[in-house]
């Protein structure tokens, strides 16, 4: 849409995920006190002008610039939070006050690593400071790249009305299948609401002959939409088409934690009578003992009615605002800790708190003379009932989220203290715990949680697992009849609550508990020593990193080296290519962070799903099968030469190993070896770094023997190897659960790679995600892999796993696994042969 003198489309000044202001971890910006706008968590190191305009202010400390756009909107561009405290260190301003700038012009550059380490957050703001005249509407709430449309600025007209009220714009509709596991429950519904609210149009969801506004989480949940159900979406307004596109994407994209996190297999309660033992479903494992403590919900006294309507409305508004602020705080805290599950849960709670269905019902009850606490409680109870009657277990569990909000708002209304009176070390018994109650209890140091009701997929279950707090649900009514204060044993792994343990049993539990804690501590202390199997085979446990900061973390966690530095991530989202010196500096920083340990640096792997702004590649019909990885040498040979020259200048060269991505035949490797030799000669070097091959397409695995004749080492990229072997897009949400590198076809390719490499005495590593899966460790060792490159926090755990394995036994069993028929069968066999701790 062209800019005219009223409207303006601002382009993204940074690349990275987009956040609404409410989600910015800074109370002032989040409250909108500085003005309306949007935020980006940046991945690049330069801030660009979002439109044409004049620079009207440059912060003395170089962390912020204000522009006046040609339509008069004043735009503050603020890099990071509390960055003023850095006093300009790490920032360089590229423009002066009074200068005229054009859209996309670089305004300031900053040292990403340095600033990220020293400031509170890199989240950066684009704020309209003269918001009394203008209004901002996000164009997208997903990730953006510099220059992409981000914010729509319109000048405010008096008494601005919504599109639908004016009946302007078009109505469009579409149909989509719901990808969210378990259907449209609270978290995905909150996401749909957030998406809808980014647009001016009004949007509705239609399913089973009923409709709900996309503004109402409750309304959408009330449609009882199951996973894979087909729904209709309609949008009406001036930006209806964009709104529809965004909503269809949100509805058809499963949440990250839905596709990746596998909830532990819920054990069905076995209610066979056993004296003094209650059986339940394990939602978070562990074995603990402690005094049983009962928690009860708030009971309201009788309501005589006849209250002053305005007064009660005010009370409720005040309490809702109070709870909203509290939840916002919890949310910010979760964000600061990058705890995705907590963020999703509490964002959903915030959305519920503003839900028109709930608020309308409560206000109606107040209008009828009820007191605010009773009105709120009735409204929640009614919606809980609706959810429970939908016949969907997942939605019924969401009633607990509503119950949580009931409790929180009632506590404010009744003035009750928020803290529970629960001693540290207690085992809490309750009908059903709510998410915020669980966090509160965890902070108070309780040992475990038992619920009479509840389900394994509830939010509480997710939180309990995340907190490592042993938790059983579905223990039945008998739980609530237990006398508080008695010492009990919660054996969550076994799904048992032992109500009358003997003194010996209590001692035994205490001992097991201490042993487990010691084991965890021990895993960390041993993380810095080499990992050998029981029969003496040394396995190098290295780390995958994308920067020198991550390399530092890997070193601190005990990594034996860097198994993969993805160089395309070092300079992603830059507009200009890094020169040779910049590259040398970046690679050297990684080598320096790793002490005397080896560092494997992969040459740039662009194309397919990874694109670089400064390296435009021709559009391709099928980019994953196009000019990617090493094929760049064919398209842009000078770029690869430049990278090789930079790598050849790192020191010491014996620690720098070069890895080539997407190799399919020997000639590609030979060509790079020749280039390396020629460049080394030009630089007067007689030393050469080792040159390895990534095995990530089936052709390379099948030719491993020929490749190993030349290459110094082979490193298997199981992510792409899965994609190309199984013919399943590695980014396809609908296929995510099936892109499993433990598929026997993959194992056969891995086995063939190891056999081929062994013929020439070369070692084989794995740098794909399979290396970080402890279930796969014995299989990979059994097939002949000798280096595992894992995510930095997992180094201790994987080393520990290695030390418990017998490589000869792994070899025998892994050979048999090649004959199984599916990845699921392989996983099952692995669980049997090598159970996880
Ligand atoms: C792989 O494909 O397994 C790999 C390690 O490379 P990337 O994930 O960067 O494609
Ligand atoms: Mg790859």
Helices (H), 184-239: 186-197, 217-221
- The 8-class DSSP code of residue 171 comes to E
pLDDT tens figures, 112-155: 888 888 887 899 999 887 766 777 777 877 788 999 999 888 87
Give the confidence band of 611 by pLDDT, cuts at 50, 70, 90.
Answer: low
Q: What is the residue whose two structure tokens read 């509490």?
A: 346
Task: Specify whether 810 is catalytic.
Answer: no
Residue 341 lies in a domain: no
CA angle 291, 293, 295 (to 5 degrees): 165
How far, in Å, CA of 31 to CA of 38, rounded?
Answer: 12
Identify the CA nearest to 153 among candidates 78, 77, 76, 73.
73
Does some domain include residue 410? no
Q: Is the pLDDT of residue 836 over 90?
A: no
Same domain for 167 and 34, yes or no, is no
What is the CA(566)–ligand 1 centre distance, in A?
Answer: 9
For 63, the token pair is 């962390």
CATH number of the domain within which 498 lies: 3.50.30.10
Same domain, 130 and 206: no
3-state secondary structure of 557: coil
- Report the share of the chain in percent with pLDDT over 70: 87
Out of 104, 133, 155, pick the residue that ends a domain: 155
Pair 227, 94 in one domain? no
In whole angstroms, how far apart are CA 798 and each of 177, 205, 284?
A: 39, 46, 22
Which atom belonging to ligand 1 lies closest to the Cα atom of 717?
A: 3
Question: 797 alpha carbon to ligand 2 midpoint, in Å?
Answer: 24
The predicted pLDDT at position 157 comes to: 57
pLDDT at 770 over 70: yes
What's the pLDDT at 64? 86
Could you tell me if 169 and 131 lie in one domain?
A: no
Q: What is the pLDDT of residue 278?
A: 93
Indicate if the pLDDT at residue 827 is higher than 70. Answer: yes
Instruction: Write down the pLDDT at residue 227.
Output: 84
Cα(826)–Cα(779) distance, integer angstroms: 9
Q: Is 664 in the pocket of ligand 1 (CB under 6 A)?
A: no
Q: What Cα–Cα distance (Å) separates residue 92 from each residue in 48, 87, 110, 125, 518? A: 13, 11, 6, 18, 49
Is residue 323 within 8 A of residue 376, CB to CB? The reply is no
Q: Among 561, 518, 565, which residue's Cα sits nearest to residue 546?
A: 565
Give a yes or no: residue 606 inside a domain: yes
Q: How far apart are CA 371 and CA 626, in angstroms?
A: 67
Lowest mean pLDDT across 101-105, 404-408, 722-726:
404-408
Among the bound ligands, the one closest to the CA of 716:
1
Q: From CA 288, how far away is CA 543, in angstroms rounded?
A: 34
Say if 543 falls within a structural domain.
yes
Would you call 459 a catalytic residue per the annotation? Answer: yes
Query: Which atom of ligand 1 lies nearest, measured to the CA of 767?
Result: 5
Q: Which of 696, 724, 731 to mutate to test the pocket of ligand 1 (most atoms within 8 A of CB)?
A: 696
- Euclidean distance between CA atoms 297 and 377, whole angstroms: 12
If one compares 735 and 128, the residue with the highest pLDDT of the two is 128
Can you give the CATH number for the domain in which 170 is found? 3.30.1340.10
Residues 6+ apart with CB under 8 A from 681: none
Residue 481, pLDDT score: 80
Average pLDDT of span 801-817: 97
Whether 607 is in the pocket of ligand 1, judged by its Cβ within 6 Å, is no
Residue 771 sits in the same domain as residue 641:
yes
- Domain identity same for 28 and 104: yes
The region of weakest confidence among 267-271, 273-277, 294-298, 572-576 is: 267-271
Domain stops at, among 481, 515, 549:
515
Residues 532/803, Cβ–Cβ less than 8 Å: yes
The residue to mutate among 605, 606, 749, having the most atoms of ligand 1 within 8 angstroms of its beta carbon, is 605
Identify whether residues 209 and 123 lie together within a single domain: no
The residues, any chain, with a CB within 8 Å of residue 678's CB and separated by 6 or more, are none
Whole-structure pTM value:
0.47
Closest ligand to C-alpha of residue 722 is: 1
Which domain CATH number covers 773?
Answer: 3.20.20.60
Indicate which ligand has the atom closest to the C-alpha of 718.
1
Separation of CA 720 and ligand 1 centre (Å): 6
145 and 169 together in one domain: no
Is the Cβ atom of 715 under 6 angstroms away from ligand 1? no
Structure token digits, residue 762: 């070369």
Decide: 718 in ligand 1 pocket, CB within 6 A.
yes
- Distances 716 to 223, 560, 589, 627 between C-alpha atoms, Å: 46, 18, 25, 20
Instruction: Answer whether 717 contacts ligand 1 (Cβ < 6 A).
Output: yes
Q: Specify the ligand 1 atom closest to the Cα of 568.
A: 9
What's the chain's average pLDDT?
Answer: 85
Q: Which ligand places an atom closest to the C-alpha of 771?
A: 1
Assess contact for 607 and 628: CB atoms under 8 A.
yes
Residues 117 and 189 in one domain: no
Count the Cβ atoms, other than its own, within 10 Å of residue 763: 18
Question: Stretch 154-183: mean pLDDT, rounded?
Answer: 70
- Tell whether ligand 1 has an atom less than 6 A from the beta carbon of residue 765: no
Alpha-carbon distance of 289 to 496, in angstroms, equals: 12
Report the CATH number at residue 123.
Answer: 2.70.70.10
Catalytic residue, chosen from 180, 279, 370, 459, is 459
Quote the CA–CA distance of 766 and 769 in Å, as a whole number: 8
Tokens, residue 107: 């305004």
Pairing of strands 562-566, 538-545: parallel
740 Cβ inside 6 Å of ligand 1: no
Please state at what angle helix 807-817 crosses helix 823-833, rounded to 10 degrees: 150
* Ligand 2 centroid to residue 588 C-alpha, Å: 23
- Please report, for residues 18, 389, 629, 672, the alpha-carbon distance to residue 634 in angstroms, rounded to integers and kept in the order given: 36, 62, 10, 11
Structure-model confidence comparison of residues 574 and 160, the more confident one: 574
| Most trustworthy range by pLDDT among 162-171, 302-311, 428-437 | 302-311
Is 791 found in the same domain as 654?
A: yes
The span from the CA of 276 to the CA of 727, in Å, is 54
CB of 44 closer than 8 Å to CB of 16: yes
Calculate how far, in angstroms, residue 261's C-alpha sits from the geometric centre of ligand 2.
Answer: 22
Tell me the C-alpha distance between 170 and 636, whole Å.
Answer: 46
Backbone angles phi and psi of 551, in degrees to 5: -60, -40
Which among 175, 150, 133, 113 is positioned nearest to 39, based on CA atoms? 150
For the CA of 661, the closest atom of ligand 1 is 6
Closest C-alpha residue for ligand 1 atom 4:
717
Q: What pLDDT shows up at residue 534?
A: 97
User: Of 390-404, 557-571, 783-797, 811-825, which gets the smallest average pLDDT?
Assistant: 390-404
- CA nearest to 488, candidates 499, 480, 472: 499
Closest C-alpha to ligand 1, atom 8 = 719
Q: Which of 112, 129, 155 is the last residue of a domain?
A: 155
pLDDT beyond 50 at 631: yes
Residue 477's domain spans which residues? 277-295+420-515
Which ligand has the shortest distance to the CA of 741?
1
- Cβ-proximal residues to 105 (8 Å cutoff; 6+ apart), any chain: 48, 49, 95
Higher pLDDT, 441 or 655: 655
Q: Identify whether residues 40 and 14 lie together within a single domain.
A: yes
Same domain assignment for residues 199 and 251: yes
**Closest approach atom of ligand 1 to CA 605:** 9
Residue 823 lies in a domain: yes
Q: Is 186 domain-assigned? A: yes
Residue identifier of the C-alpha nearest atom 6 of ligand 1: 717
Say which DSSP state 261 is in.
P
Query: Is 150's C-beta closer than 6 angstroms to any atom of ligand 1?
Result: no
Q: What is the full DSSP assignment across 567-593?
A: GGGTSTT-SS---HHHHHHHHHHHHHH
Q: Is the pLDDT assigned to residue 394 strictly greater than 80?
A: no
Whether 498 maps to a domain, the answer reads: yes
For the chain, the domain total comes to 4
- CB-proximal residues (5 Å) to ion ligand 2: 696, 717, 720
Indicate if ligand 1 lies below 6 Å from the C-beta of 42. Answer: no
Cα 578 to middle of ligand 1, angstroms: 22
- pLDDT at position 161 is 44
Beta pairing class for 202-207 and 230-237: antiparallel
Between residues 482 and 761, which one has the greater pLDDT? 761
Confidence grade of residue 497 (pLDDT, cut at 50, 70, 90): very high
Q: Which residue has the higher pLDDT, 306 or 685?
A: 685
The answer to whether the peptide bond before residue 652 is cis (omega within 30 degrees of 0) is yes
Q: b vs e for 636-655, b when ≥16 Cβ sit within 10 Å of the residue's Cβ?
A: beebbbbbbbbbbbbeebeb
* Pair 13, 146: CB distance under 8 Å: yes
Is the minimum distance from the CB of 563 to ligand 1 under 6 angstroms? no
User: Which-ligand-closest: CA of 544?
Assistant: 1
pLDDT for 18 = 84
Helix, strand or coil, per DSSP, at residue 173: strand
CA distance 468 to 173: 44
Return the pLDDT at 299: 67
pLDDT band, residue 81 (cuts 50/70/90): confident
Helix (H) or strand (E) holding 539: strand 538-545
Catalytic residue among 119, 656, 767, 830: 767
CA of 698 to the centre of ligand 1 (A): 14
H or E stretch covering 833: helix 823-833
pLDDT of residue 669: 97
Q: What are phi and psi of 142, to 5 degrees?
A: -105, -170
Measured CA to CA in angstroms, residue 43 lies from 16, 150, 571, 805 at distances of: 5, 16, 9, 40
Confidence of residue 714 (pLDDT cuts 50, 70, 90): very high
Q: Higher pLDDT residue, 633 or 551?
A: 551
Percent of the chain at pLDDT exceeding 90: 44
Q: Is 719 in the pocket of ligand 1 (CB under 6 A)?
A: yes
Residue pair 505/489 in contact by the 8 Å Cβ criterion: yes
Q: What is the pLDDT of residue 32?
A: 58
Distance between Cα 721 and ligand 2 center (Å): 8
User: 455-495 pLDDT, tens per residue?
Assistant: 654 556 656 765 668 888 888 878 888 888 899 999 987 78
How do residues 306-341 score in pLDDT, each as one tens digit?
899 999 999 999 999 988 988 887 787 777 666 677
> CB-based contacts of 792: which residues, under 8 Å, 6+ apart?
543, 544, 545, 550, 553, 554, 557, 559
pLDDT bin (cut points 50, 70, 90) of residue 1 is very low
**CA–CA separation, 724 and 285 (whole Å):** 37
Nearest CA to ligand 1 atom 9: 566
Structure tokens at 234: 């309609």
> Looking at residue 436, what is its pLDDT?
67
For position 540, what pLDDT does the model report? 98
Specify if 267 maps to a domain.
no
């Amino acid at each position: 849409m062209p800019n005219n003198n009223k409207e303006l489309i601002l382009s993204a000044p940074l690349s990275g995920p987009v956040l609404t202001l409410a989600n910015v971890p800074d109370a002032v910006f989040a409250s909108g006190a500085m003005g309306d706008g949007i935020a980006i968590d940046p991945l690049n190191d330069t801030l660009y002008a979002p439109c044409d305009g004049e620079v009207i202010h440059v912060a003395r400390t170089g962390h912020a610039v204000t522009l006046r756009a040609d339509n008069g909107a004043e735009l503050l561009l603020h890099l990071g939070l509390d960055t003023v405290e850095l006093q300009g260190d790490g920032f360089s301003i590229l423009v002066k006050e009074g200068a005229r700038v054009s859209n996309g012009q670089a305004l300031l550059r900053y040292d990403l690593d340095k600033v990220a380490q020293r400031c509170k957050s890199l989240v950066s703001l684009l704020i309209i400071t003269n918001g009394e005249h203008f209004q901002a509407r996000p164009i997208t709430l997903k990730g953006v790249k510099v220059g992409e449309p981000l914010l729509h600025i319109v000048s405010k007209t008096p008494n601005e009305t919504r599109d639908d009220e004016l009946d302007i714009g078009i109505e469009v509709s579409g149909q989509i299948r719901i990808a969210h596991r378990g259907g449209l429950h609270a978290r995905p519904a909150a996401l749909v609401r957030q998406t809808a609210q980014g647009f001016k149009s009004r949007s509705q969801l239609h399913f089973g002959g009923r409709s709900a506004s996309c503004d109402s989480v409750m309304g959408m949940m009330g449609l009882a939409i199951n996973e894979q159900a087909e729904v209709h979406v309609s949008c009406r307004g001036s930006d209806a088409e964009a709104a529809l596109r965004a909503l269809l994407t949100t509805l058809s994209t499963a949440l990250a934690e839905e596709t990746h996190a596998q909830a532990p297999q819920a054990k069905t309660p076995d209610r066979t009578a056993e004296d003094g033992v209650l059986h339940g479903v394990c939602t978070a494992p562990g074995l603990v003992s402690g005094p049983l403590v009962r928690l009860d919900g708030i009971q309201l006294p009788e309501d005589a009615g006849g209250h002053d309507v305005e007064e009660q409305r005010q009370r409720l508004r005040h309490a809702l605002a109070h709870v909203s602020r509290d939840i916002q705080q919890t949310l910010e805290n979760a964000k600061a800790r990058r705890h995705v599950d907590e963020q999703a849960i509490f964002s959903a709670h915030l959305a519920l708190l503003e839900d028109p269905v709930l608020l309308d019902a409560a206000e109606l009850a107040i209008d009828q003379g009820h007191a605010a606490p009773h009105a709120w409680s009735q409204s929640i109870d009614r919606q809980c009932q609706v959810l429970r009657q939908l016949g969907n277990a997942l939605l019924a569990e969401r009633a607990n989220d509503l119950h949580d909000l009931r409790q929180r708002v009632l506590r404010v209304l009744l003035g009750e203290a928020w803290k529970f009176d629960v001693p540290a070390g207690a085992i809490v018994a309750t009908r059903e715990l709510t998410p915020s109650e669980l966090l509160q209890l965890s902070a108070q140091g309780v040992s475990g949680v038992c619920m009479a009701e509840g389900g394994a997929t509830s939010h509480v279950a997710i939180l309990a697992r995340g907190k490592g707090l042993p938790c059983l649900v579905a223990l039945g009514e008998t739980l609530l009849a237990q006398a508080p204060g008695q010492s009990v044993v919660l054996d969550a792994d076994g799904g048992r609550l032992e109500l009358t343990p003997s003194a010996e049993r209590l001692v035994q539990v205490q001992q097991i508990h201490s042993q487990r804690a010691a084991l965890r501590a021990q895993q960390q202390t041993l993380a810095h020593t080499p990992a050998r199997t029981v029969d003496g085979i040394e396995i190098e446990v290295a780390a995958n990193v994308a920067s020198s900061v991550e390399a530092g973390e890997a070193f601190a966690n005990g990594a034996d080296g860097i198994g993969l530095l993805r160089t395309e991530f070092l300079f992603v989202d830059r507009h200009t290519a890094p020169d040779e010196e910049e590259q040398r500096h970046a690679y050297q920083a990684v080598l320096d962070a790793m002490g005397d340990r080896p560092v494997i640096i992969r040459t740039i792997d662009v194309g397919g799903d990874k694109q670089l702004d400064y390296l435009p590649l021709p559009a391709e019909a099928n980019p994953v099968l196009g000019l990617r990885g090493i094929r760049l040498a064919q398209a842009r040979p000078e770029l690869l030469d430049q990278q090789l020259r930079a790598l050849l200048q790192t020191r010491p060269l014996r620690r720098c190993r070069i890895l080539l991505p997407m190799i399919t035949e020997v000639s590609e490797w030979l060509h790079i070896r020749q280039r390396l030799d020629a460049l080394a000669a030009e630089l007067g070097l007689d030393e050469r770094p080792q040159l390895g091959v990534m095995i990530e397409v089936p052709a390379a695995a099948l030719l491993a023997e020929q490749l190993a004749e030349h290459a110094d080492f082979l490193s298997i990229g199981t992510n792409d190897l899965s994609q190309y072997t199984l013919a399943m897009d590695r980014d396809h949400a609908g296929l995510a659960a099936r892109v499993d590198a433990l598929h026997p076809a993959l194992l056969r390719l891995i086995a063939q790679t190891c056999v081929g490499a062994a013929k020439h005495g070369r070692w084989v590593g794995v740098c794909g995600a399979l290396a970080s899966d402890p279930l796969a460790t014995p299989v990979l060792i059994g097939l002949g892999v000798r280096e595992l490159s894992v995510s930095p926090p997992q180094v201790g755990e994987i080393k520990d796993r290695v030390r418990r394995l017998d490589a000869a036994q792994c070899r025998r069993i892994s050979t048999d696994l090649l004959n199984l028929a599916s990845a699921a069968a392989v996983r099952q066999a692995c669980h049997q042969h090598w159970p996880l701790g």
